[in-house]
A and B are shown apart, each in its own frame.
Chain A
Amino acid sequence: MAKTNISPKDVARIADLARLELDAQSLECYADQLRQILKYVASVHEVTDQTGGDDNATTPHHELKNISREDGVADDNVGTEELLRNTPSQTGDMISVPIILGEKV
C-alpha cells in the first residue's frame, strides 16, 4: 500500500511534474485535501482482492479493438488560417514560441 501521508513537499514535486506553480499556502491546503482523498480511495484494494490475480484486467471497454479507417484525404479539414486564429503568438503562418534550447525543463 502506497503512503497516504503526503506532505507539502510531495505536492510541490508533483505540481512541478504537472507544470503548475503553487504558493506555500496552496501546497499546505492541497496536501491536506489529498491526504483525505487518498485515505478514502485506498478502499479500492478491497475490490481488487476479488479479481483473483487477473493482471490483464483493464477497462470495461476492453473488448474494444483497434480500428483503422481508409487512408484518404478528408474534405472537412480546418484550414491553417482558421486554426491560427486562436494562437496566442504567431509569425507568418507559424506558431512562435520563446527560446527552448539551453533552458531547464
Chain B
Amino acid sequence: MTSKTLTIALAAKKLRTKEVSSLELTRDCLRRVATSKLNAFTTVDEAGALRSAKEADKLIGSGKAEPLTGIPLAIKDVISTKGLRTTASSKILDNYIPPFDATVIAKLKAQKAVILGKTNLDEFAMGSSTENSAYGATLNPIDPERVPGGSSGGSAAAVAGDLCLGSLGSDTGGSIRQPASLCGLYGFKPTYGRVSRYGLLAMASSLDQIGPLSKTATDMKVLFDAIAGYDRLDATSIAKPLPKAKDIKKLKIGVPKEYFESQGLSKDVRKSVEAGIEKLQKIGCQIKPVSLPTSPYALAVYYLIMPVEVASNLARFDGIKYGASTIDSSKTLADVYFKTRSKYFGAEAKRRIILGTYVSSAGYYDAYYGQAEKARLVIARDFERVFREVDVIVGPTSPTTAFKFGEKADDPLAMYLSDIYTVPINLAGVPSVSVPAEPVGELPVGMQITGPKDADLTILNLAVAYEDACQKGKS
C-alpha cells in the first residue's frame, strides 16, 4: 500500500475500513519527501506529522473520522502554522515561528488532518515559476527541466510528485490555478471572502485567497469544504452561507472570444482547451460565445493595484518586531529599516515595492493607482454583465504549458504575461477552478472555469462532472 496511487477520497475510505493506518500513509509520504529531488518543501515536520497521524488513528478507531482525518497534506509556506517555521520563502522570515495558527490550519487540525510540512513558493507569493524563492526553485515533477508554475509551485509539485495527498496554496493573481495547470492538477480560487485570510502572510489583501490543489475534483471539494466558512478574525469574511449549486446539466457556458484572440496563446493549448469545452458540451451544458472586452487590460490594472498593496503590506518587515534583522549592527532606527530590508528581501520583492511606491506616490497616484482602481470596477462590471447571460465562463488557465527554467527569469514583463487569464478573476473577486485538459505531449494543460461571486459550489460540481466525463472517455 503506497500513497502514490491514492486520492484523498480513496485514502479516507481505506482508513475507515482499516486497510491502512494514517501512520503508515504518513510514513510513506515522509519517506518519499526525504528522497525527493523536487525541492517542494521548505520545512518538513516529521515529528509533528507522526504525532498527528497517531492521534488521527485513535480518532478513526473510535469511529469519529471526518473527511480529512489522517490524510497527509502539505501547506504553502505563506500560511501561519503555530510552532512550525513559516518563511514565505524569504530570507527576511528565515527563522520566523508563528505563535498562532491561520484559521485554515486550525480547521484542518480540528479534523485531525496530518500536516507534513511547508511548501516552497516565490518569495511572498510573487512570481509564476517558484524561481523567486530564497530557498531555490522547485522542479516540475512531469519534466524536471521545467518550472512547476507559481507562486504555489511547491504545493503543486508536492501533490503531482506524490509527496502528499493534497495541499493548500494561495492565489492573488493565479498562484493556485497556474501551477495546477502546469502540473496537471485541480486547483481552486474561491470567491473572495469565502475562505478566511487570517494567518495568511499578506501579499495584496484585496486579491489574496487561500484554496486547495488536488489530484481529483472530488478531493478539491473535500478540501474546500474543510477550510471555507465565516471567520470573525477576517474582516472581509462573508457570513452569509454559500448558495446551493445549480443543476450542472442545465448550465449555460460562455466562451469569451478575447481569451482565444490573445497573441500569446499557444496553438496546442488552444486546441486542448477547445477539446475540453466539447466535453462540457457532452455533459449537457449549452455553449455560447460571449465577450469580455476589458479582459485584455486586466493585467495592466493588476500590475498597478497589486504592487501598491504589496508595498504597503511588506512595510511591516522592518527588523524590529520579528524576522531577520540587522539591529545588532545598526546604529539608528532608520539604519535598521534600510539595512534589514535591503539585505533580506529578494529582487522581485524589491521590484514590486518600488513599483508600488512609485505609482502611489504624490503626483503619480491619480494617474496610476487611482485610474487602476476605477478600471478594476469596470472589469468587475464586465464580468457581472456576462454572468447575466451565462452561468459560467471557460477558457485557458495559462497561455502556455510549463516553460523551462531561466526562460523568463530576466524579463519581469514576460513572466507577468503568463498570468494573463488568471488575474482578471482576482480583480473581480469571483471563484475559479483550473481543471486538467488534454496534455500536449507529456506537458499538462489547464482549463479555467469561472463563475459569478458565490457560485463556488456550482463550479466545483461542474469540475467533478467534467472529471467523470474525462474518465468515461478513457475507459
Residues of chain B within 8 A (CB-CB) of A59 are 206, 373, 376-377
Query: What is the CA–CA distance of A69 and B237 in the complex, to the nearest angstrom?
Result: 13
Q: A37-B413, A41-B368 are in contact. Are A47 and B297 (CB under 8 A)?
A: yes
Q: Contact mask B355-396 → A, CB, 8 Å, 1/0?
A: 101110101100110011111111110000000000000000
Contacting B361 at CB < 8 Å: which of A14, A38, A42, A46?
Answer: A14
Tell whether B78 is near chain A: CB-to-CB under 8 Å: no
Q: Quick check: is A43 within 8 A (CB to CB) of the other chain?
A: yes
Does A51 lie at the interface of the complex (its beta carbon under 8 Å from any beta carbon of B)? yes
Q: Which residues of B contact A26 (CB under 8 A)?
A: 350
Q: Is A73 interfacial (CB-CB < 8 Å)?
A: no
- A102 vs B322: C-alpha distance when bound (angstroms): 25
Q: Is the CB of B300 within 8 A of A1?
A: no
Judge whether B357 and A60 touch: CB under 8 Å.
no
Task: List residues of B (229-263) whose CB comes within 8 Å of A's CBs.
Answer: 232, 235-236
- Interface positions of A from 35 to 75, Cβ below 8 Å from B: 36-38, 40-48, 50-51, 54-55, 57-62, 64, 67, 69
Q: Are B380 and A34 in contact (CB under 8 A)?
A: no
The residue in A55, A60, A83 that gathers the most chain B C-beta atoms within 10 A of its C-beta is A60
Are A20 and B338 touching (Cβ within 8 A)?
Answer: yes
Q: Are A19 and B318 in contact (CB under 8 A)?
A: yes
Minimum distance in angstroms from B108 CB to a CB of chain A: 17
**B353 near A60: Cβ-Cβ < 8 Å:** no
Q: How many whole Å from A57's CB to the nearest CB in chain B?
A: 4
Name A104's contact: one of B294, B325, B334, B341 (CB within 8 Å). Answer: B334
Partner-binding segment picked from B43-51, B92-100, B182-190: B92-100
In the complex, the answer to whether A99 meets B333 with C-beta atoms within 8 Å is yes
Distance of A75 Cα from B141 Cα, bound (Å): 44
Task: Map CB proximity to A onto B298-335 as digits: 1 under 8 Å, 0 otherwise.
Answer: 01110110000001000100111111110110111111
- B421 touches A (CB below 8 Å): no
Shortest distance in angstroms between A53's beta carbon and chain B's nearest beta carbon? Answer: 10
| A87 contacts across to B, CB distance below 8 A | 320-322
Contact across chains for B355 and A103 when beta carbons are under 8 A apart: no
A34 to B428, CA, bound (A): 26
Please tell me if A92 contacts chain B, counting CB pairs below 8 Å.
Answer: no
| A1-47 CB contacts (< 8 Å) to partner B | 1-2, 6, 10-11, 14-15, 17-22, 26, 30, 33-34, 36-38, 40-47
B137-153 CB contacts (< 8 Å) to partner A: none
CB of A2 within 8 A of CB of B341, answer: no
Q: Are B367 and A2 in contact (CB under 8 A)?
A: yes
B341 near A19 (CB under 8 angstroms)?
A: yes
Interface size in chain B (residues, C-beta < 8 A) = 72
Q: How far is the CA of A86 from the CA of B342 in the complex (A)?
A: 20
Say whether, besides A20-B341, A41-B304, A88 and B327 are in contact (CB < 8 Å).
yes
B35 to chain A, nearest CB (A): 32
Query: If the complex has contacts A42-B300, A48-B371, A57-B374, are A98 and B351 also in contact, measured as CB distance less than 8 A?
Result: no
> A2, A55, A86, A99: which contacts B322 (Cβ < 8 A)?
A86
- Check if B303 sits within 8 Å of A17, measured CB to CB: no
Q: Given known contacts A14-B358, A30-B351, A60-B428, is B99 in contact with A86 (CB within 8 Å)?
A: yes
| In the complex, chain A residues whose CB is within 8 Å of the CB of B331 | 98-99
Contact at B232–A69, with CB atoms within 8 Å?
yes
Among A21, A42, A48, A105, find the residue whose CB has the most chain B CB atoms closer than 10 A: A48
Contact assessment for A50 and B311 in the assembled complex, using a CB-CB cutoff below 8 Å: no
Q: What chain B residues lie within 8 Å of A30 (beta carbons)?
A: 350-351, 354
Chain B residues in 8 Å Cβ range of A1: 367
Is A97 within 8 A of B301, CB to CB? Answer: no
CB distance from B354 to the nearest CB of A (A): 5
Q: Write out the residue numbers on chain B whose beta carbons fall within 8 Å of the beta carbon of A60.
A: 376-377, 379-380, 427-429
Contacts of B342 in A (CB 8 A): 20-22
Q: Establish whether residues A95 and B333, one from each chain, have CB atoms under 8 Å apart when the complex forms.
A: no
Complex Cα distance, B317 from A20, in Å, reads 12
Which residues of B does A touch, CB under 8 Å? Answer: 95-97, 99-100, 192-193, 206, 232, 235-236, 294, 297, 299-301, 303-304, 311, 315, 318-325, 327-328, 330-339, 341-342, 345, 350-351, 353-355, 357-359, 361, 363-364, 367-368, 371-380, 412-413, 416, 427-429
Interface residues, chain A, with chain B CB atoms under 8 Å away: 1-2, 6, 10-11, 14-15, 17-22, 26, 30, 33-34, 36-38, 40-48, 50-51, 54-55, 57-62, 64, 67, 69, 78, 82-83, 85-89, 95, 97-100, 103-105
The 4 closest A-B pairs by CB, nearest first: A60-B380, A86-B322, A88-B325, A2-B367
